[in-house]
Amino acid sequence: MKIAVVGATGLVGREILKVLEASSIEVSELLAVASEKSVGKNITFSGKENQVISLETAVSKKPDIAIFSAGAGISLQWAPKFKEIGTTVIDNSSAWRMDKNVPLIVPEINGSVLTAKDKIIANPNCSTIQLVMALHPLNNKYGLKRVVVSTYQSVSGSGAKGVEQLMNERNNIKSEKFYPHQIDLNVIPQGGDFLEDGYTTEEVKLVNETQKILQSDVKVTATVVRVPVIGGHSEAVNVEFKNDFILDEVKRLLGTMPGVVIFDFPESNMYPMPILAAGKDEVFVGRLRRDHSQANTLNMWVVSDNLRKGAATNAVQIAGYITKNKLI
């Protein structure tokens, strides 16, 4: 299996290499691909030095799978070129997510829709992935009616520049700001760019991607907030169901969902936190409680490492699924 990782020198790209190295996928050749300024650098994979190559060179080598994490512009330009030579592209950007002809995949939920004809596969937004992982088993049982989600997103979700700004501020180093405001000792209620209706692009992604993945007309409203945490996204989620639920059954359903871990022990002050999710592939759910303000409504707290299940792990799981099921 010849696999290209496009954007291999970035935050998510390096995490993809780590997850891929630990996966069961037998990689016969790893193509580390990055921008021209990184070409010629060395990246270690499975104990072997791999020289970074350009996109043009990667296309000429005809990989079986190309995992993209280099931004929407690069994906729009280059994914079709890889598709033309028969490569299956797994794209981590927003470029193809809402394209009606491109599947948006979380393997535990809708991997079964994939076919050998799908040569471009979209990886959802990091916040969406952890949200739908928690919603999916509950939707199957009770039916989703409305979801209100407020996110507490770490700076690594913005890439290296977000992390750099936080650490520079924390160490009192003057530098160019990536965010419109100070992020250290602060929270910024903005993710992405503002739209005409006052919502941001990150908030709209949560709405549209959730509906597409779950194949549901559920009403979703979101507020995205950036917090001074290096890694790990958290979400306060309020879910109104079409049918009533029993809390113990909710816990059982979530506990049997692959990739979800119930961590809900309030009597011991134990609940999901970014620091506990760091470096892990699972989605952690806690603070489960009935909303007493209206019928059939649940509150929960959902946390996941945004560079792992929110990006790298999900992409590699897609690669593993199509490999295992011979869809390439």
Between CA 33 and CA 255 the distance in angstroms is 38
Q: Which of 136, 181, 233, 292 is catalytic?
A: 233
Query: Is residue 160 within 8 Å of residue 11, measured between CB atoms?
Result: yes
- Count of other CB atoms within 10 angstroms of residue 273: 16
Between CA 235 and CA 155 the distance in angstroms is 15
Edge-to-edge strands of the sheet including 2-6?
29-33, 2-6, 65-68, 88-91, 120-122
Give just the sign of the alpha carbon dihedral 224, 225, 231, 236: negative
What's the CA angle centered on 133, arms 130 and 137, to 5 degrees?
155
In a 10 Å sphere around its CB, with 0-12 CB exposed, 13-18 middle and 19+ buried, how is residue 223 labelled?
middle
User: DSSP alpha helices (H): ranges in 9-120?
Assistant: 11-22, 55-60, 72-84, 107-110
Between CA 20 and CA 66 the distance in angstroms is 12
In our burial notation (b when 16+ CB lie closer than 10 A, e otherwise), range 77-86 reads ebbeebeeee
Between CA 291 and CA 250 the distance in angstroms is 14
**247: three-class secondary structure by DSSP:** helix
DSSP letter assigned to residue 124: P
Q: Does the active-site annotation cover 233? A: yes
Q: Does the active-site annotation cover 181? A: no
Active-site residues, by number, are 126, 233
